[in-house]
């Protein structure tokens, strides 16, 4: 969950897609389409965001193994149909985060005239820096996560995505110990994460695989 930069999309295409969004059912139907501009946009999201996210889930940071990972609308299509094809409203997420945890949860706190000014209840992958909201530490063969300085967004992100689940905390530790691309770890603030990994490697925690 490193802060992501807005992906490069053709603004004319985005405007065209946006102009078709009149209500929730229309948005849901248009999102299902795979022809023309609709299909191209979705393909672009997958290709662009796979690279931008280093093939990591935007919310929990675990590796995305699927060829075509889930595309998640950060603000859900219902009720926020206007942002169905908005590039910074779309990220790739693992099944666990996208389906099991987030589902149709409305993550918008206050709607504003523009997407950029809208506020969210969770750490937003494009608008927020996770380093401001989340802290990491090591204990019991796992990498723990906690809200930074009492951040409400951090707390809600941890709650919604079940990030303190013991299995998820162990998965993070395995990632950092055995992945070759630890430098690109996503979902975690790199420096803090590497410091936690040093602690693990230093023998204070013995990993069992």
Among positions 27, 94, 134, 163, the unique one binding Zn ion when judged by CB under 5 A:
94
* Cα 130 from Cα 123, distance rounded (Å): 6
Please, what is the minimum distance in Å from the beta carbon of residue 195 to Zn ion? 22
What residues from 1 to 20 belong to the interface with Zn ion (CB under 5 A)? none
Please, what is the minimum distance in Å from the beta carbon of residue 97 to Zn ion? 3
- Residue 92 as a binder of Zn ion (CB under 5 A): the answer is no
Residue 59 or 115: the one with the smaller Cβ distance to Zn ion is 59
- Residue 59 as a binder of Zn ion (CB under 5 A): the answer is yes
- Residue 60 as a binder of Zn ion (CB under 5 A): the answer is yes
Q: Which helix (H) or strand (E) holds 72?
A: strand 70-73
Stretch of residues binding Zn ion (CB under 5 A), selected from 97-105, 110-118, 151-159, 201-209: 97-105
* Cα 59 from Cα 125, distance rounded (Å): 8
Q: Which of 122, 117, 37, 50 is nearest to 84 (CA)?
A: 37
Please, what is the minimum distance in Å from the beta carbon of residue 88 to Zn ion? 18
Tokens of 141: 């063969």
* Cα 126 from Cα 4, distance rounded (Å): 5
How far apart, in Å, are the Cα atoms of 97 and each of 58, 69, 102, 103, 165?
9, 12, 6, 8, 12
Please, what is the minimum distance in Å from the beta carbon of residue 98 to Zn ion? 7
Among positions 30, 97, 122, 163, the unique one binding Zn ion when judged by CB under 5 A:
97
Please, what is the minimum distance in Å from the beta carbon of residue 93 to Zn ion? 5
SS3 69: coil
Stretch of residues binding Zn ion (CB under 5 A), selected from 32-40, 50-58, 126-134, 149-157: 50-58
- Residue 57 as a binder of Zn ion (CB under 5 A): the answer is yes
* Cα 109 from Cα 89, distance rounded (Å): 15
> By the criterion CB under 5 A, which residues form the site for Zn ion?
57, 59-60, 94, 97
């Amino acid at each position: 969950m490193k802060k992501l930069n807005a992906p490069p999309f053709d603004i004319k295409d985005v405007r065209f897609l946006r102009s078709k969004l009149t209500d929730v059912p229309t948005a849901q139907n248009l999102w299902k389409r795979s022809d023309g501009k609709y299909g191209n946009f979705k393909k672009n999201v997958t290709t662009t965001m796979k690279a931008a996210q280093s093939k990591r889930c935007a919310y929990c940071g675990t590796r995305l193994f699927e060829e075509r990972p889930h595309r998640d609308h950060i603000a859900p299509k219902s009720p926020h149909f206007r942002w169905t094809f908005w590039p910074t409203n779309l990220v790739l997420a693992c099944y666990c985060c996208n389906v099991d945890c987030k589902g149709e949860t409305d993550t918008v706190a206050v709607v504003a005239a523009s997407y950029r000014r809208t506020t969210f209840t969770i750490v937003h992958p494009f608008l927020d820096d996770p380093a401001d909201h989340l802290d990491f530490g090591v204990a019991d063969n796992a990498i723990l996560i906690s809200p930074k300085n009492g951040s409400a967004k951090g707390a809600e992100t941890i709650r919604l995505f079940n990030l303190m689940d013991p299995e998820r905390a162990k998965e993070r530790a395995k990632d950092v110990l055995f992945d070759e691309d630890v430098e690109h770890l996503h979902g975690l603030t790199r420096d803090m994460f590497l410091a936690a990994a040093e602690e693990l490697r230093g023998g204070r925690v013995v990993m069992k695989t």
